[in-house]
Amino acid sequence: MTPEAPKRRLIVALTGASGAIYGIRALERLRAAGGIETHLVLSRSAARTIAEETPYSLAEVRALADCEYPVRDIGAAISSGSFKTMGMLVAPCSVKTLSSIAHCHGDELIARAADVCLKERRRVVLLLRETPLHAGHIALMDLATRSGAIIMPPVPAFYHRPQTIDDIVDQTVGRALDLFDLELGLVKRWHGSTARPGTPT
């Protein structure tokens, strides 16, 4: 009997930082594309941010994911390295969550799942939403990076000439998903200028 191909799973976490639309848009685009099983965790503050910043209800956000876990459930499937995933996207990532991940403080599921991904050498992408930054924030980013996390503040690109906020959000989400080798057609890619023959490079 041929063994089944492993499912492609991605953990998506939303925290209470501003920018809930990034995580929501990632869930929307992944559901529309198909082929990726999404595992969602919402921090206790995420519900407030979703309500303040977006037209989505909590039920609508939860319905976008294939599976959802309570943030206090440290016995969830995603808390074990034996549960195979592609990694984890934290979008948006608060400084509190960054601190928990950087210090391996896994008393809640978001930090625990991230720690599991890092120890298994899986990709962890943190869309850190904070500015300006003080030395403590920078030290936390350094510490998390040394453990293997990728810090990706959602800094908007402008070379693709965005016309709407959705254009900016899609470009950022697409670039974040690029880091998991997921191509969903969201990114308008830079191709540079074509050098003319004989032009010095």
Helix (H) or strand (E) holding 150: strand 150-151
How far apart are alpha carbons 194 and 109 in whole angstroms? 48
pLDDT digits (tens, 9 = 90+) for 61-86: 999 999 999 999 999 999 999 999 99
Residue 185 has what pLDDT? 80
Cis upstream peptide for 70 (omega within 30°)? no
CB 87 within 8 A of CB 180: yes
pLDDT digits (tens, 9 = 90+) for 30-55: 999 999 999 999 999 999 999 999 99
How far apart are alpha carbons 139 and 195 in whole angstroms? 41
CB 59 within 8 A of CB 83: no
DSSP 58-97: HHHHHHTSSEEE-TT-TTSGGGSTTS--SEEEEEEE-HHH
Token digits of residue 134: 């003080």
How far apart are alpha carbons 41 and 74 in whole angstroms? 11
Three-state DSSP class for residue 127: strand
The rounded Cα 1 to chain-centroid distance in angstroms is 36
Helix (H) or strand (E) holding 175: helix 165-178
Q: How far apart are the first and last CA of the chain?
A: 56
Residue 113 has what pLDDT? 98
Bridging pattern class, strands 67-69 and 37-42: parallel
Torsion angles phi and psi, residue 195, rounded to 5:
-70, 140
Crossing angle of helices 95-102/135-146, nearest 10°? 40
- CATH code of the region 9-178: 3.40.50.1950
Global pTM reads 0.91
Ranges under pLDDT 70 in the chain: 1-6, 193-201
